[in-house]
């Protein structure tokens, strides 16, 4: 949970680097909270904003709240692999873009030591 909170504290910080742990724990806890909110929406019948998709009000609010921190932690994760944040745009390419972004860039180990985006986040933790 500390990695999730660390990413949220850097709500809109686009400079620097994010370790794999920070990125993947942020994603994991975001999905868990989203699922819990979906369950609450289902139990209370709060399907007002996107009924056709089966998405409830609490889920939509959560998605909106996480837009900026998700982009920020993704950009910092790309920086850790020595790539510009503009690589996020490849995620807009159906199937191939999502696979390339999540299974190549986000899984890849970060650049050891300093790179053009700052110090190694693993070394800052140790």
Q: 85-97: per-residue pLDDT in tens?
A: 898 998 888 888 8
- Inter-residue contact 55 to 49 (CB < 8 Å): yes
Q: Supply 80's token pair.
A: 């850790």
Specify the pLDDT at position 126.
Answer: 45
pLDDT under 70: residue ranges of the chain: 47-54, 124-126
Distance CA 26, CA 35 (A): 14
Can you tell me the distance from the alpha carbon of 76 to that of 87, in angstroms, rounded to the nearest whole number?
Answer: 11
Query: Is 2 buried (19+), middle (13-18) or exposed (0-12) by CB count in 10 A?
Result: exposed
pTM as predicted: 0.83
Maximum CA extent, the chain:
50
- Number of Cβ within a 10 Å radius of residue 89: 11
Rounded (5°) CA angle 103-25-45: 100
């Amino acid at each position: 949970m500390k990695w999730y909170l660390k990413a949220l504290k850097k709500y809109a910080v686009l400079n620097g680097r994010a370790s794999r742990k920070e990125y993947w724990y942020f994603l994991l806890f975001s999905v868990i909270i989203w699922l819990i909110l979906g369950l609450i929406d289902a139990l209370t019948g709060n399907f007002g904003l996107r009924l056709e998709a089966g998405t409830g009000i609490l889920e939509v609010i959560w998605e909106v709240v996480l837009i900026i921190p998700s982009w920020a932690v993704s950009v910092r994760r790309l920086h850790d692999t020595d790539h510009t944040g503009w690589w996020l745009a490849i995620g807009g390419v159906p199937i191939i873009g999502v696979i390339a972004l999540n299974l190549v860039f986000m899984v890849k180990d970060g650049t050891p030591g300093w790179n053009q985006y700052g110090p190694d986040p693993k070394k800052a933790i140790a």
